[in-house]
Amino acid sequence: MPHVIEKVAWIRLDEGRLLTTRTHGRELYYLPGGKPEPGETHPQALVREIREELGITLDQATVRPLLTIEAPADHKAPGTLVRTTCYTADHAGTPTPCGEIAELAHLTHGDHPRASATTRTALDHLAARGHLLRW
């Protein structure tokens, strides 16, 4: 049975592009978010992680599930999976790289090579529904 890491992520589209983050020392882009701490609900974890990574405040009352993605975990033992529950939410402020985040990028479906496995799946999902630019 594979080891599964539970994560939450924020899906934010800007003019047909998906907001992603790259951490210091990594090359691929990931969905902003992270692991819930013990006792945290997914919405609580999402609000905390986005504040830590992007310096903005999500409106917890508007947090809505969008999709759940299971994909191989980067930089972990073979067979390790990441199960990421992706949410949408309204926010206040302008996303800015904070803490472990080196930079932000707004990716289109054509940016697959720059994205993690989970992010590629999110790009596919959004493009299939006409929410994402394909080039």
pLDDT top residue among 47 and 74: 47
Q: How many CB atoms lie within 10 A of CB 110?
A: 13
Bridge-based pairing state of the strands 64-72 and 101-107: unpaired
CA distances from 97 to 40, 100, 135 (A): 24, 8, 25
pLDDT in the model for residue 122: 96
pLDDT tens column, 15-27: 999 999 999 999 9
Written out in words, the top-level CATH class of the domain with range 4-128 is alpha beta
Is a pLDDT exceeding 60 seen at residue 135? no
Q: Band the pLDDT of 124: cuts 50, 70, 90.
A: very high
Mean pLDDT score of the chain, rounded to an integer? 94
Model pLDDT for residues 61-117, shown as the tens digit of each residue: 999 999 999 998 887 888 899 999 999 999 999 999 999 999 999 999 999 999 999
For CA atoms 66, 5, 132, 44, the dihedral sign is: positive
Q: Where are the alpha helices (DSSP H) in 21-129?
A: 42-54, 117-128
Distance from the first to the final alpha carbon of the chain: 38
